[in-house]
Amino acid sequence: MFVKLEGRTVLVVGAGVVAEQKIDGLLAAGARVKVVAPQATAQIAKWALCEVLEWHARPFSPADVDGAHLVVAATSAPGVNSAVYREAETRKVFCNAVDDLENCHFYYGSVVQRGDLQIAISTNGKSPALAQRLRKQLEAQFGPEYENWLELLGAARETLRAAENPGDPEATKRLLHQLASENKFEQFRQHAKNPSTGKGIA
């Protein structure tokens, strides 16, 4: 699920290794993370000490869901996860209980990320192992050069949109598709390997 979480509160119930992995991604997305768990990993405790997140060292309470835009239940206790899900459901808040299909409104995808390029693989929770294998294959196919390539495409799009006299919109659309073509990408990649060729994205 691609969600803009900048400045939004996300409740994470649980503070073990799995929760730590989820929290890391939430923090990277700019979310305001609130953690509820009696104990926490060293990393989560450190984040709390540095005020990167808010940690309440106690068991889950229904009122913890109040004000949350998203909820993640990442405990090893199925009863707790289902209780978190029920409270989220009551408040119409999306909830994901890790590895618990019955208590999920959404599933975490396995994601390949190259800057702003994100490719997500989902198996609807049926086989995270397959999703991880496919992610590794896609990581090999879409290398780190795609990050710079996308930055150039974004700059080209903004330049065209900012033009005072953009001309024919359909012509602009065709140009943008041409710039994003496989041929142009190969040209970009060769230029990155050998800048002396003088060939860029244009």
Chunk the chain into consecutive blocks of 10 residues (it has 202) and report each block's average pLDDT, rounded to whole numbers. 89 96 93 97 98 98 97 93 96 92 82 88 84 92 93 90 71 89 91 66 54
Closest CA to 10 of 67, 91, 75: 67
- The reported pLDDT for the residue numbered 165 is 59
- The reported pLDDT for the residue numbered 123 is 84
- The reported pLDDT for the residue numbered 194 is 76
**Residue 173 and residue 163: Cα distance in Å, rounded?**
14
Give, in order, the Cα–Cα distances in Å from 24 to each of 19, 29, 32, 38, 125.
9, 9, 12, 19, 20
The fold of the 109-143 domain, in CATH, is Double Stranded RNA Binding Domain (3.30.160)
Architecture of the domain whose range is 9-108: 3-Layer(aba) Sandwich (3.40)
**Residue 198 and residue 202: Cα distance in Å, rounded?**
11
- The reported pLDDT for the residue numbered 198 is 53
pTM metric for this prediction = 0.69
- The reported pLDDT for the residue numbered 100 is 82
- The reported pLDDT for the residue numbered 130 is 92
- The half-sphere exposure of 38 on its side-chain side, counting CA atoms within 13 A, is 5
- The reported pLDDT for the residue numbered 150 is 94
- The reported pLDDT for the residue numbered 92 is 96
Strands in the chain per DSSP E:
9-13, 32-36, 54-56, 70-73, 94-97, 110-114, 117-121
98 near 123, Cβ under 8 Å?
A: no
**Residue 110 and residue 116: Cα distance in Å, rounded?**
16
Strand-pairing partners, residue 113, are 118
Torsion angle defined by CA atoms of residues 41, 47, 51 and 52, in that order, rounded to the nearest 10 degrees: -130
Helix (H) or strand (E) holding 75: none
- The reported pLDDT for the residue numbered 59 is 97
Long-range contacts of 113-116 (CB under 8 A, 24+ apart): 114/142, 114/143, 114/144, 114/146, 114/147, 114/150, 115/146, 115/147, 115/148, 115/150, 115/151, 116/147, 116/150, 116/151, 116/154
Strand-pairing partners, residue 72, are 12, 96
How does pLDDT run across 173-184, given as a tens digit for each residue? 888 999 999 999
- The reported pLDDT for the residue numbered 164 is 57
- The reported pLDDT for the residue numbered 160 is 83
**Which two tokens mark 118?**
């994100």
